[in-house]
Structure 1
Amino acid sequence: MAGGLWPVADALAFLTGDWRVERTVRDLAEDVTGTFTGTTAFTAEGEGLLHFESGTFEWRGVARPAERTLRFLPGEEPGTAVVRFSDGRFFHGLDLRDGHHIADHPCSADLYRGEFTVHDADGWRTVWRVRGPAKDLVLTTDYRRLPPAAVRLP
């Protein structure tokens, strides 16, 4: 995905809608790469957004259905967000007001460091670098906005 930074005044407004997702998962310790392809829908829920991702994850030649749910809530500063796991646990903050954000998430002895880059009104990328005694991974995800669903008349 090419391009510079695209400032986002309101993270929740920007994310709302449906996105095409393409992710590579590289296990650096074992020199193995997998892929995820699918969609992510950001839909209104209460004061924030429900993030539902579904698709196919291929790892070591085996393709399986995969999905996850996150919640994006308004942050303390206008235009920012707080990301929580589906069970309500804190995941990370998100501030895209300058088009770029870095977030850390400690998970047991491993550290997840996410870099979020918005390239334009319809495209953004996350790169999670995971390091620790249990993991040595790079997860790169590209998001492209899908056009609104066509209205079907009876």
Structure 2
Amino acid sequence: MSSVEPHPPGTSPVDLLGTWELRRTVEDRRSGRRHDVRGTTTLALESADRVRWHETGTMTWDGHTVPVERTLFVVRTEAGWWVEFADGRPFHPWAVDRRVEHPCAPDHYVGLIELTDDGWRVEWHASGPEKDYLMTTALRPAADAERPG
């Protein structure tokens, strides 16, 4: 893991604790299909150095509907905050407004986390011999959720 600069105020994962409305689009450039996901994302503090990032929702495309979910963790390390898969494998540094990369042979992912006026946004470009898509997730405070702080 490479070193990551300290986070300016408002850009730590701890600043985003709570439940968020999730709206995601996955534009598969190979098939020309678009997949939509609607659901929630919850960031919950498990300890001072660990945030659980859990997503649940429903994906729809071409008349199909399937439930989806995933869990990630954002963990504070000596190198800064890092996003990890549920099994503990490193995914990418937590870096707001800076591109991050995740090589996952044979494909390659380039991501970006951005703060917006009404929440935050995550974008991933996947490219390689097996994948070619753009995934964009908009997160806004959930209307019926309490926000810490």
TM-score by length of 2: 0.85
Q: Which runs of 5+ in 1 are unaligned?
A: 1-6
| Structure 1 position 105, deviation (Å) | 0.5
Native 8 Å contact 1:20 1:146 kept in 2: yes
* 1:125 matched residue in structure 2: 121
- Alignment of 1:65 onto 2:102: no
3-state secondary structure, aligned to 1:101: coil
* 1:21 matched residue in structure 2: 22
TM-score by length of 1: 0.82
Q: Which runs of 4+ in 1 moved over 2 A?
A: 7-10, 146-150
| Structure 1 position 107, deviation (Å) | 1.0
Q: State which of 77, 99, 102 in structure 1 corresponds to 2:99.
A: 102
Native 8 Å contact 1:21 1:37 kept in 2: yes
> 2:86 is matched by which residue type in structure 1?
S
Task: State the identity as a percent.
Answer: 36
- Alignment of 1:85 onto 2:82: no
* 1:49 matched residue in structure 2: 51
Partners of 2:54 and 2:105 in 1: CA distance: 25
Q: For the aligned residues, what is the CA RMSD? A: 1.9
* 2:110 matched residue in structure 1: 113
Q: Deviations over 1:3-47 (max 9, x none)?
A: xxxx64441222211100000001101111010000011111132
Q: Which runs of 5+ in 2 are unaligned?
A: 1-7
3-state secondary structure, aligned to 1:141: strand
Native 8 Å contact 1:94 1:101 kept in 2: no
- Alignment of 1:146 onto 2:148: no
